[in-house]
């Protein structure tokens, strides 16, 4: 979703330990452990909310003390096999690089990010494999997690020194944002920066991301611009999201809106689909827009509950759908909630009745529901209309409601 | 379940009970009768062919032949498209082969008739293959499908396959006349012709149409009544939806779509299959246009299986139809 070659979070990633804002205590104990206390515990677990500098600290420390980081993170599968394949060789010999004459090198350092993401099933044996590595390791093992209290990590915690990270305090974040504004030549209102910092809830990374997305285009940031921010934590209504979606002037704008809005994606997709014909009246434009929405739906299907890395493509297709012909946009009244949900709600009784009718036909005439619906229901309906007390009723054991429904049923 | 002797629906009342009673499928019944002489040698069977050509009838006749009057106790009838997934199928088969007494007289197995197997997904079929293996000592399967090509190879190779082709018109007319005589109804030749024409080799459909038409006038079925019944019983909503979409009234077309889904409970897959069928029935669309529309349908049929919401894919399909309709109009205008 990023518009620039370099994300500011990457560009301003702390190079030195002292560049990391906040969490002084945690930084100090980590450095102390790395320098002097590695004989007490072979591994350390850094834990705390996202975006407060855990990964940054490991990277900065490695750089300062000359370690090579061997990293595995949540996107790598961490089954026992995977852990052993990567981590074991990395931890079983010490400072091999010393032989190459590169004197600054202190050797390898194994870094397992997001260990709380070790899934129960796919990563079977992952925790015990990590413990084994810690016990045998000749190099420092560092882990990071957001939530160390989950059951599966309990055995791991015994092997580690625990270092806790806190949310970074607002004034520190504001100061950092000001520094970045200066370097990026962004003129920002102080209140706007304050707002971003508060909204971030102590997450430095998200604060920098917000700053970039709000000010990159104009290099100017007012308190008004931060209105969009509210959507990250507070729900903006479906109508509001739809409004901004259809009124958007560029794909970038839509992508930004969608990444901030917290509307349910399935509902949003349905609502977009419902409202497209109001937005595009020309059949070719409508077809083009629906082409994109259809693809967005494909990505939604593939995302399922786990392939969230596909989300950006989902956003992209949706964004394209809103930008088929920006000139033709005129405000219109939205259909909401989704037609599908309303229709299915009102017709549930009818469907259930038809379902039980078809079950009875299926059982008596050895056919599936679908065949019953196509090849029997229309005829049985006509026969009942001809003869109200037809023996069919008794033979199929239709209830009064079912007979009634058959008689009144429209043609499909 | 109603006993078939007193069946009210003619399709059941006149369904042949034994292989001998089945007319017009000599090749198939003869080879099956060979199995019946020594049932222990009977392999799994696969009956493949278009609807209404006698597959279920043959399967039920085999059950009759094997077990006589008590066939229901030894036969499990399942419909793959009605059961919710392969796990349900597995559980029901497991339960059945556990409780079904091991053998009846000479028959050392129970019979499992699984209809509409071609509706099962690949993984489900693989699971079915396992089930067939694990229960092969206690059960024989009769698999029924429209297209055997949609059944995975390993299952096909475990079965003796019988193919059913469309019934020929003369045989159908004779069958309809036979039923009419039994029911003391005067079925006029033109009326029979019309029913046969309409039902496209599907005897079940034809008999239902005949029975319905006979309910209109006491003791007589003429062509006028048949036309009326056929008109009233034919689906029209899908046709209506397609036309609205092609003529550029997308909103109305989508309303019909939701009506079909809501009131009749058709799934996206069923609707798209009907769209395909209806397109080919349209007389005012050229073969080239049908081919073009068909390739649009194909794309969305595929997407339907990949996406999250069937209504979005169907809406998108209707929108493509709208564009297609507009292009045709413009071509005509240019000429």
**Helix pair A377-386, B203-214: axis angle to 10 deg:** 10
Contacts of A343 in chain B (CB under 8 A): 258-259, 261-262
How far is it, in rounded angstroms, from Cα A101 to Cα A108?
A: 15
Contact indicator for B314, B271 with CB cutoff of 8 Å: yes
Residue B41 C-alpha, separation from nearest chain A C-alpha, in angstroms = 26
Predicted confidence at residue B145, as pLDDT, reads 93
In the block, tokens 């229309």 appear at A378
Predicted confidence at residue B58, as pLDDT, reads 94
Residue % of chain A over a pLDDT of 70 = 84
Please write the tens of the pLDDT for every residue from B24-59.
Answer: 788 888 888 888 888 888 889 999 998 889 999 999
How far is it, in rounded angstroms, from Cα B8 to Cα B120?
A: 32
Contacts of B217 in chain A (CB under 8 A): none
How far is it, in rounded angstroms, from Cα A171 to Cα B280?
A: 70
pLDDT average, residue stretch B304-329: 90
How far is it, in rounded angstroms, from Cα A235 to Cα A242?
A: 13
The answer to whether residue B63 scores a pLDDT higher than 80 is: yes
How far is it, in rounded angstroms, from Cα A131 to Cα A124?
A: 13
Question: What ipTM score was computed for the predicted complex, to two decimals?
Answer: 0.85
The answer to whether residue A124 scores a pLDDT higher than 60 is: no
> Helical H runs in A153-237?
154-158, 170-184, 190-200, 204-215, 230-233
Decide if B326 touches A, using CB distance below 8 A: yes
Residue A150 and residue A76 share a domain: yes
How far is it, in rounded angstroms, from Cα B110 to Cα B115?
A: 16
Predicted confidence at residue B149, as pLDDT, reads 87
Residue A369 C-alpha, separation from nearest chain B C-alpha, in angstroms = 6
In the listed set A124, A145, A164, which residue is the last one of a domain according to the structure?
A164
Going across the sheet that includes B159-164, the strands are B75-79, B110-115, B139-145, B44-49, B159-164
Predicted confidence at residue A1, as pLDDT, reads 38
The verdict on a CB contact (< 8 Å) between A412 and B266 is yes
Return all residues near A381 (Cβ < 8 A) that are at least 6 apart: A406, A407, A409
Q: How many CA atoms lie within 13 A of A179 on its CB side?
A: 15
Decide if A369 touches B, using CB distance below 8 A: yes
Whether A14 is in a domain gets the answer no
**Helix pair B287-306, A283-303: axis angle to 10 deg:** 30
Q: CA A88 from chain center: how many Å?
A: 31
Residue A182 and residue A92 share a domain: no
The verdict on a CB contact (< 8 Å) between B115 and A366 is yes
**Helix pair B250-264, B268-281: axis angle to 10 deg:** 120
Residue A177 and residue A266 share a domain: no
Please write the tens of the pLDDT for every residue from B273-289.
Answer: 889 989 988 888 899 99
Return all residues near B74 (Cβ < 8 A) that are at least 6 apart: B63, B66, B67, B100, B101, B104, B107, B110, B111
How far is it, in rounded angstroms, from Cα A395 to Cα A399?
A: 11
Residue A144 and residue A172 share a domain: no
The answer to whether residue A227 scores a pLDDT higher than 90 is: no
* B190 — pLDDT class (breaks 50, 70, 90): very high
* Closest to B260 (Cα-Cα) out of A87, A399, A410: A410
* A231 — pLDDT class (breaks 50, 70, 90): very low
Predicted confidence at residue A5, as pLDDT, reads 61
* Mutate which: B230, B263, B299, B319, vs A, most A CBs within 10 A: B319
Predicted confidence at residue B3, as pLDDT, reads 44
Predicted confidence at residue A159, as pLDDT, reads 82
How far is it, in rounded angstroms, from Cα A22 to Cα A357?
A: 68
Nearest CA in chain A to B316: A290
Q: CA B212 from chain center: how many Å?
A: 20
Residue A256 and residue A224 share a domain: no
In the block, tokens 């370097």 appear at A183
DSSP 8-class letter at A399: -
Contact indicator for A357, A404 with CB cutoff of 8 Å: no
Predicted confidence at residue B134, as pLDDT, reads 81
Which has more pLDDT, B104 or A191? A191
CATH number for A244 = 1.20.272
Distance set, CA A185 to CA A215, A220, A353, B38, B108 (Å)? 10, 9, 67, 92, 87
CA angle B248, B250, B252 (to 5 degrees): 110
The verdict on a CB contact (< 8 Å) between B215 and A370 is no
A206-210, B119-123, B212-216 — most confident range: B212-216
- Closest by Cβ to B265, choosing from A289, A294, A354: A354
Whether A10 is in a domain gets the answer no
How far is it, in rounded angstroms, from Cα A1 to Cα A256?
A: 8
Give all domains of chain B, ordered by start, each with its CATH number: 4-164 (3.40.50.300), 169-233 (1.10.8.60), 237-326 (1.20.272.10)
- Closest by Cβ to B1, choosing from A301, A347, A364: A364
Residue A120 and residue A174 share a domain: no
How far is it, in rounded angstroms, from Cα B100 to Cα A79?
A: 44
Contact indicator for A19, A268 with CB cutoff of 8 Å: no
How far is it, in rounded angstroms, from Cα B192 to Cα A52?
A: 82
In the block, tokens 């507070």 appear at A234
Decide if B78 touches A, using CB distance below 8 A: no
* Closest to A259 (Cα-Cα) out of A249, A267, A247, A251: A251
Predicted confidence at residue A349, as pLDDT, reads 86
Residue % of chain A over a pLDDT of 90 = 23
* Mutate which: A383, A395, A409, A410, vs B, most B CBs within 10 A: A383
Contact indicator for A277, B251 with CB cutoff of 8 Å: yes
- Structural tokens at position A31: 């450095």
Helix (H, G, I), strand (E, B) or coil at A147: coil
How far is it, in rounded angstroms, from Cα A129 to Cα B100?
A: 48
In terms of phi and psi (left: phi > 0; alpha: psi -120 to 50; beta: otherwise), the region of B114 is beta
Whether A7 is in a domain gets the answer no
- Structural tokens at position A97: 């690089």
Dihedral through CA A235, CA A239, CA A241, CA A245, nearest 10?
Answer: 180
Return all residues near B66 (Cβ < 8 A) that are at least 6 apart: B36, B39, B74, B104, B107, B111
Going across the sheet that includes A107-112, the strands are A67-72, A107-112, A141-145, A43-47, A160-164
Give the number of other Cβ atoms within 10 Å of residue B222's Cβ: 16
The verdict on a CB contact (< 8 Å) between B311 and A270 is yes
Residue A304 and residue A215 share a domain: no
The verdict on a CB contact (< 8 Å) between A297 and B308 is yes
Tally C-beta pairs within 8 A across A and B: 186
Decide if B138 touches A, using CB distance below 8 A: no
Residue A255 C-alpha, separation from nearest chain B C-alpha, in angstroms = 20
Decide if A405 touches B, using CB distance below 8 A: no
3-state secondary structure chain B: CCCHHHCCCHHHHCCCCCCCCCCCCHHHHHHHHHHHHCHHHCCEEEEEECCCCCHHHHHHHHHHHHHHHHHHHHEEEEECCCCCCHHHHHHHHHHHHHHCCCCECCECCEEEEEECHHHCCHHHHHHHHHHHHHCCCCEEEEEEECCHHHCCHHHHHCEEEEEECCCCHHHHHHHHHHHHHHCCCEECHHHHHHHHHHHCCCHHHHHHHHHHHHCCCCCEECHHHHHHHHHHHCCCHHHHHHHHHHCCCHHHHHHHHHHHHHHHCCCHHHHHHHHHHHHHHCCCCCHHHHHHHHHHHHHHHHHHHHCCCHHHHHHHHHHHHHHHHHHHHHHHHHC
Determine if the pTM surpasses 0.90. no
Predicted confidence at residue A2, as pLDDT, reads 39
The verdict on a CB contact (< 8 Å) between A351 and B263 is yes
Between positions 239 and 278 of B, the ones with CB within 8 A of A are 248, 250-251, 254, 258-266, 270
Distance set, CA A189 to CA A168, A219, A220, A231 (Å)? 21, 12, 9, 20
A87-91, A145-149, A193-197, A285-289 — most confident range: A285-289
Decide if B319 touches A, using CB distance below 8 A: yes
Give the number of other Cβ atoms within 10 Å of residue A382's Cβ: 21
Mean of per-residue pLDDT scores for chain A? 81
Whether A52 is in a domain gets the answer yes
Whether A138 is in a domain gets the answer yes
The answer to whether residue A409 scores a pLDDT higher than 70 is: yes
Residue % of chain B over a pLDDT of 90 = 44
Residue A297 and residue A247 share a domain: yes
Helix (H, G, I), strand (E, B) or coil at A281: coil
* Mutate which: B227, B268, B308, vs A, most A CBs within 10 A: B308
How far is it, in rounded angstroms, from Cα A344 to Cα A218?
A: 46
The answer to whether residue B1 scores a pLDDT higher than 50 is: no
Residue B82 C-alpha, separation from nearest chain A C-alpha, in angstroms = 6
Residue A153 and residue A53 share a domain: yes
The answer to whether residue B177 scores a pLDDT higher than 90 is: yes
Please measure the distance between the N-terminal and C-terminal CA atoms of chain B and give it in whole angstroms.
Answer: 63
CATH number for A219 = 1.10.8.60
In the listed set A133, A149, A164, which residue is the last one of a domain according to the structure?
A164
The verdict on a CB contact (< 8 Å) between B270 and A277 is no
Contact indicator for B87, B119 with CB cutoff of 8 Å: no
Helix (H, G, I), strand (E, B) or coil at A14: coil
Whether A5 is in a domain gets the answer no
The verdict on a CB contact (< 8 Å) between B82 and A371 is no
In the listed set A208, A232, A256, which residue is the last one of a domain according to the structure?
A232
Residue A141 and residue A35 share a domain: yes
Whether A15 is in a domain gets the answer no
Please write the tens of the pLDDT for every residue from A327-337.
Answer: 888 888 888 77
Residue A261 and residue A373 share a domain: no
How far is it, in rounded angstroms, from Cα A393 to Cα B8?
A: 9
* Closest to A298 (Cα-Cα) out of B137, B304, B151: B304
Residue % of chain B over a pLDDT of 70 = 95
pLDDT average, residue stretch B85-110: 72
Between positions 278 and 297 of A, the ones with CB within 8 A of B are 283-284, 286-291, 293-294, 297
The verdict on a CB contact (< 8 Å) between B319 and A290 is yes
Whether A47 is in a domain gets the answer yes
Decide if A317 touches B, using CB distance below 8 A: no
Q: How many CA atoms lie within 13 A of A158 on its CB side?
A: 9
CA angle A363, A368, A370 (to 5 degrees): 130
**How many domains are there within chain A?**
4
Predicted confidence at residue B2, as pLDDT, reads 42
Instruction: Write out the residue range of the structural domain in which residue A193 sits.
Output: 168-232
Predicted confidence at residue A260, as pLDDT, reads 72
- Closest by Cβ to B306, choosing from A287, A301, A394: A301
Residue A325 and residue A253 share a domain: yes
The verdict on a CB contact (< 8 Å) between B320 and A302 is no
Mean of per-residue pLDDT scores for chain B? 87
């Amino acid at each position: 979703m990023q518009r620039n070659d370099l994300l500011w979070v990457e560009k301003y990633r702390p190079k030195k330990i002292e560049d990391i804002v906040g969490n002084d205590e945690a930084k100090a104990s980590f450095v102390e452990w790395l320098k002097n206390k590695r004989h007490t515990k072979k591994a350390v677990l850094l834990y705390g909310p996202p975006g407060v500098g855990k990964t940054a600290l490991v990277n900065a420390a490695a750089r300062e003390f000359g370690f090579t980081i061997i990293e595995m993170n949540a996107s790598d599968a961490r089954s026992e096999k995977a852990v052993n394949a990567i981590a074991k060789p990395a931890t079983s010999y010490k400072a091999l690089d010393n032989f190459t004459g590169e004197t600054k090198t202190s050797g390898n350092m194994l870094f397992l990010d997001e260990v709380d993401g070790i899934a129960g099933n796919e990563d079977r044996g992952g925790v015990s494999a990590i413990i084994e590595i810690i016990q045998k390791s000749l190099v420092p093992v560092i882990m990071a997690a957001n939530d160390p209290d989950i059951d599966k990590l309990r055995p791991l915690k015994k092997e580690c020194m625990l270092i806790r990270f806190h949310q970074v305090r607002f004034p520190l974040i504001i100061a950092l944002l000001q520094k970045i504004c200066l370097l990026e030549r962004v003129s920002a209102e102080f209140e706007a920066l304050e707002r971003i910092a508060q909204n971030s809830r102590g997450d430095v990374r998200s604060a920098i991301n917000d700053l970039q997305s709000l000010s990159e285009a104009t290099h100017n940031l007012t308190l008004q611009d931060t209105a969009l921010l509210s959507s990250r934590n507070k729900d903006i209504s479906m109508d509001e999201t739809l409004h901004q979606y259809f009124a958007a002037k560029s794909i970038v704008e839509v992508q930004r809106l969608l990444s901030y809005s917290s509307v349910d994606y399935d509902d949003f997709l349905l609502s977009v689909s419902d409202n497209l014909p109001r937005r595009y009246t020309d059949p070719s434009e409508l077809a083009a827009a629906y082409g994109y929405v259809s693809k967005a739906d494909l990505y939604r299907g593939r995302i399922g509950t786990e392939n969230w890395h596909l989300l950006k493509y989902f956003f992209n297709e949706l964004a394209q759908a809103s930008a088929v012909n920006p000139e033709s946009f005129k405000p219109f009244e939205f259909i909401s909630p989704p037609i599908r949900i309303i229709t299915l709600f009102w017709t549930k009784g009818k469907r259930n009745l038809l379902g039980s009718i078809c079950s009875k036909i299926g059982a008596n005439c050895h056919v599936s529901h679908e065949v019953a619906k196509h090849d029997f229901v229309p005829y049985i309906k006509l026969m009942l209309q001809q003869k109200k007390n037809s023996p069919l009723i008794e033979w199929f054991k239709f209830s009064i409601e079912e007979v009634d429904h058959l008689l009144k049923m429209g043609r499909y | 379940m109603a006993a078939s002797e007193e069946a009210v629906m003619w399709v059941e009342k006149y369904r042949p009970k034994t292989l001998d009673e089945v007319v017009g499928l000599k090749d198939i019944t003869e080879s099956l009768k060979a199995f019946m002489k020594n049932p222990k040698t009977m392999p799994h069977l696969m009956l493949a062919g278009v609807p209404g050509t006698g597959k279920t009838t043959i399967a039920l006749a085999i059950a009759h032949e094997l077990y006589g009057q008590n066939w229901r106790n030894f036969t499990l009838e399942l419909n793959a498209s009605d059961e919710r997934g392969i796990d349900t199928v597995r559980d029901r088969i497991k339960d059945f082969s556990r409780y079904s007494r091991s053998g009846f007289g000479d028959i050392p197995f129970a019979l499992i008739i699984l209809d509409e197997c071609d509706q099962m997904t690949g993984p489900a079929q693989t699971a079915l293959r396992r089930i067939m293996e694990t229960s092969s000592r206690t059960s024989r399967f009769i698999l029924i499908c429209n297209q055997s090509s949609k059944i995975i190879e390993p299952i096909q190779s475990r079965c003796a396959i019988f193919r059913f082709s469309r019934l020929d018109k003369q045989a159908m007319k004779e069958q309809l006349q036979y039923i009419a005589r039994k029911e003391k109804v005067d079925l006029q030749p033109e009326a029979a012709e019309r029913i046969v024409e309409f039902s496209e080799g599907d005897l079940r459909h034809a008999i239902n149409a005949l029975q319905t038409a006979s309910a209109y006038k006491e003791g007589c079925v003429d062509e006028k009544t048949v036309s009326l019944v056929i008109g009233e019983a034919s689906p029209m909503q899908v046709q209506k939806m397609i036309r609205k979409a092609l003529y550029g009234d997308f909103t109305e077309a989508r309303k019909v779509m939701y009506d079909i889904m809501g009131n009749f409970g058709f799934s996206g897959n069923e609707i798209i299959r009907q769209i395909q069928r209806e397109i080919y029935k349209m007389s005012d669309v050229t073969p080239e246009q049908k081919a073009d529309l068909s390739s649009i349908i194909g794309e969305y049929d595929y997407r339907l299986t990949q996406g999250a919401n069937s209504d979005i894919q169907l809406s998108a399909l209707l929108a493509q139809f709208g564009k297609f309709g507009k292009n045709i109009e413009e071509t005509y205008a240019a000429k």
